[in-house]
Amino acid sequence: MTGKTVHLAVYDTYADWETGHTTAHLTQHGHTVKTVAAAADPVTTMGGVRIQPDLTLDDVQPQDSALLILTGASLWDTSDKLAPFARKARAFLEAGVPVAAICGATAGLAREGLLDDRAHTSAVSFYLAATGYKGGEHYREADAVTDDDGLLITAGPTEPVAFAREVFARLGVYEGEKLDAWYRLFHDSDASAFEVLES
Going across the sheet that includes 67-70, the strands are: 55-56, 32-37, 5-9, 67-70, 99-102, 152-155, 144-146
Question: Mind listing the pLDDT tens digit for each residue in 25-58?
Answer: 999 999 999 999 999 999 999 999 999 999 999 9
Mean pLDDT of the region 60-73: 96
To the query of whether residue 103 is one of the catalytic residues in this protein, the response is yes
Among 36, 103, 152, 181, which one carries the catalytic annotation? 103
Mean pLDDT of the region 173-189: 95
Query: pLDDT value at position 2?
Result: 45
Confidence class for position 199, pLDDT limits 50, 70, 90 = confident
Question: Mind listing the pLDDT tens digit for each residue in 101-151?
Answer: 999 999 999 999 999 999 999 999 999 999 999 999 999 999 999 999 999
Question: Is the model's pLDDT at 185 over the cut of 60?
Answer: yes
Residue 38: Cβ within 10 Å count: 19
Q: Which CATH number fits domain 2-174: 3.40.50.620, 3.40.50.880, 3.40.50.720, 3.90.1200.10?
A: 3.40.50.880
Would you kindly state where each structural domain of the chain is located, as residue ranges? 2-174
